[in-house]
Amino acid sequence: VRFANGRLERPESLRFTVYQNRDSAHPRKRHRRILVSETERLCYVGHNFGSQVMKCNSLCRYFVGVLDKSSGQMDVYNAEIFNMQPLLSGGGAGSHSCWAALFCFLPCSLGRQQGQFLHLSVLGEGSTGWVRVGVTHRVSLLNCSLVWVVCVPRGAQGVQSVLCLVQMDLCIEAFGTSKQKRALSSRRMNAVGSDIVSTAVTKAAANVIDAKGVTALMQDVAQDDVQNISAFLPPCHEDADRPEHVYKFEDILSPAEYEALRVPAATLASITTEEMAKRAEERSLCSFVLEELKFLPTDERSRDHKARCLWFLDTLIKFSQQKVVKKKHPVGPDCPHIISKKLVKNFTSLTYNNGSIQNLISASMKAKITAYIIALALHINNFQTDLTVLQNDLKLSESRILDIAKALRLRVSKAKGVPGLENDQNHKLGTLSLPLPTQKAPEGQRKRKKIN
């Protein structure tokens, strides 16, 4: 340790206590320490975190060697330097028990007159009842100059911090180094600058409201909400002249990713009726894919293309069911590496949990996966798809998938569903057609119906 206001003359008279953060699993908090030492007069506190931590610990490493005199061997341990600052609690000082002394220190060179008593002169009593006591001359006290003492009533804890800052500024003006004075000037200029900026922002906001009006500003806010929604949607080309160009296939699957699907999708391209029945019984494929496999084209090229799209759509649905994604083979060993990398990179968010960083599929990421699934289903089904079947596969509420479909600029209509599936009479059909409907931001959460 090192003391900010002097040198340690009697180490044996100090008692040290170290405290560590309770969160031992957090990678940063578990290294935080607070060191406390007590003397007959003062209590000192040092810590290795925060804005006032010493820079030397991050620039180099320190070691402590413990020599065993009997064996002549030395054990070396990692060490860390703590800068001990005096803790001024505001307890009773002097012969007047009703006053508490608050000291402001400035570092200076070590003088010869160490430990001298201070000669104080009373400057007067203010209208607020404060008694200000000044120092008639500069006195060296260990490694500090005690340049100002402010006596405040006992129990006036609320004003001590403000008063200490004011008196510290006065100390720096009178006795501070050039560096301290420059810092003080810069801080005061920044305080004035923040007031000017606040006034200017308030005035500018009033001018904008007067110029554009409240209605135009509300429209701008709604547009910003729409842009925030678009961050979770596939790239939309509003100026497209054909539906297939609104959400381009290349934005969903790149050429390299599409080529990587050739091998795993071959099993779907050559699937038989018996295998489909077995897959349906095992539920190894989602309902949407099973239904579309019944209508695979006879043309080999078109059949292979649809099989690749269906394999990737089924993989997206299975991926969306996870909460925490595995780092190795997130959707199984059969998935190509480039596809696994795409899923983890584009459809998960990093989170910290139980001392490690994990890839999590949050609610917003599941909405993004759903948007890409709907866009891919549009390409599979000639830009018209059954949203209810996808909703059941994704295990979403109807309102949730309809909100995402409307954000994708789809026209939603009622349709008779596929026989044998759930709610076959009340299916919702999503259609992508030109011109695109106007995009609207969601109006907030719907009110829940009261249940009697």
Instruction: Quickly list DSSP for 338-404.
Output: HHHHHHHHHH-EEEEETTEEEEE--HHHHHHHHHHHHHHHHHHTTSEEEHHHHHHHHT--HHHHHHH
Nearest C-alpha neighbor of 252 from the set 208, 198, 312, 319: 312
Contact between 48 and 57 under an 8 Å Cβ cutoff? The reply is yes
pLDDT: which is higher, 97 or 172: 172
What predicted TM-score, i.e. pTM, was given to this entire model? 0.51
Mean pLDDT of 101-125: 34
Give 237-259 pLDDT, tens digit per residue. 888 899 999 999 999 999 999 99
Mutual angle of helices 262-269 and 300-320, in 10-degree steps: 110
User: How high is the pLDDT of residue 222?
Assistant: 55
Q: Which of the four pLDDT bands, split at 50, 70 and 90, describes residue 313? A: very high
pLDDT of 159 over the 80 cut? no
Q: Distance (Å, rounded) from C-alpha 44 to C-alpha 46?
A: 7
Q: Distance (Å, rounded) from C-alpha 294 to C-alpha 287?
A: 11
User: How high is the pLDDT of residue 370?
Assistant: 95
Torsion of CA 330, 331, 335, 338, to 10 degrees: -40
Mean pLDDT of 278-295: 91
Q: Which of the four pLDDT bands, split at 50, 70 and 90, describes residue 388? A: very high
Q: Token pair 């069911």 is at which residue?
A: 321
User: How high is the pLDDT of residue 205?
Assistant: 74
**Angle at the Cα of 54 (from 30 to 138), degrees rounded to 5?**
140
β-bridge partners, 102: 150
Mean pLDDT of 104-119: 34
pLDDT of 89 over the 60 cut? no
Q: Distance (Å, rounded) from C-alpha 425 to C-alpha 104?
A: 80
With a pLDDT cut of 90, the percent of the chain lying above it is 29
DSSP letters, 259-324, are HHTHHHHHHHHT--HHHHHHHHHHT-S-HHHHHHHTT--SSHHHHHHHHHHHHHHHHHHHHHT-SE
User: Would you call the peptide bond into 437 cis, given omega within 30 degrees of 0 as the criterion?
Assistant: no
User: How high is the pLDDT of residue 221?
Assistant: 58
**Angle at the Cα of 44 (from 43 to 50), degrees rounded to 5?**
140
Mean pLDDT of 288-307: 92
pLDDT of 224 over the 80 cut? no
Nearest C-alpha neighbor of 390 from the set 370, 418, 417, 420: 370
pLDDT: which is higher, 133 or 427: 427
**What's the one-letter identity of residue 302?**
S
Q: Helix or strand or coil: residue 245?
A: helix
pLDDT: which is higher, 83 or 118: 83
User: How high is the pLDDT of residue 443?
Assistant: 52
Give 319-376 pLDDT, tens digit per residue. 999 988 887 788 888 899 999 999 999 999 888 777 778 888 988 899 999 999 999 9
Q: Distance (Å, rounded) from C-alpha 313 to C-alpha 333?
A: 17
Q: For residue 114, what are the CA distances in angstroms to 8, 9, 109, 110, 117?
A: 12, 11, 11, 8, 9
pLDDT: which is higher, 375 or 414: 375
**What's the one-letter identity of residue 297?**
P
Q: Distance (Å, rounded) from C-alpha 151 to C-alpha 97?
A: 11
Nearest C-alpha neighbor of 293 from the set 313, 264, 271: 271
Domain boundaries, the chain: 1-89+129-155, 234-417+425-431
Q: For residue 123, what are the CA distances in angstroms to 105, 146, 220, 360?
A: 20, 16, 61, 65
What token pair was written down for 345? 């990179």
pLDDT: which is higher, 265 or 448: 265
User: How high is the pLDDT of residue 136?
Assistant: 34
pLDDT: which is higher, 111 or 4: 4
User: How high is the pLDDT of residue 88?
Assistant: 61
Which range scores top for mean pLDDT: 60-64, 101-105, 220-224, 386-390?
A: 386-390
Contact between 261 and 315 under an 8 Å Cβ cutoff? The reply is no
Q: Which of the four pLDDT bands, split at 50, 70 and 90, describes residue 312? A: very high
Number of Cβ within a 10 Å radius of residue 27: 11
pLDDT of 198 over the 60 cut? yes
Contact between 88 and 104 under an 8 Å Cβ cutoff? The reply is no
pLDDT of 211 over the 80 cut? no
User: How high is the pLDDT of residue 425?
Assistant: 53
DSSP letters, 95-153, are S-TTEEEEEEEEE-PPPSSTTPPP-EEEEEE-TTS-EEEEESS--EETTEEEEEEEEEE
133 exposed, middle or buried (CB, 10 Å; 0-12, 13-18, 19+)? middle
Q: Which of the four pLDDT bands, split at 50, 70 and 90, describes residue 417? A: low
User: How high is the pLDDT of residue 193?
Assistant: 61
Q: Distance (Å, rounded) from C-alpha 150 to C-alpha 129?
A: 12
User: How high is the pLDDT of residue 430?
Assistant: 92
